[in-house]
Amino acid sequence: MRIMLACAQGMSTSLLVAKMKEAAELNEVDVEIFAAPEAEIPKHKAEIDIVLLGPQVAYLLEDTQEVLADTNIPVTVINSVDYGMLNGGKVLDVALKLIEKTKEGEK
């Protein structure tokens, strides 16, 4: 699984990526997590399973959903409290559940 966190420049989400990777390792979850600027979403859409938008770019939710409309990639905005507290475990859990829900919907 590949999780993409997107924000304006891809830098502010990098701390959360590190915390999510720690949580994945602790829970033995095989996942690749990376941060990138939101402008790079189209470039990565063939290789990702979900896009998590930083709260500061929540206004891009609809635009991002349109960019990914030809895929089955879910998009959601990271909870601002979890983002601010760098709660990597919680954000990872939300992402994994949304990926699973999307895959179940494909069946």
Closest CA to 53 of 35, 78, 30: 78
Task: Report the C-alpha gap between 70 and 1 in whole angstroms.
Answer: 19
Catalytic residue list: 7
| 91, containing H or E segment | helix 88-106
For residues 63 and 15, the answer to whether their CB atoms sit within 8 Å is no
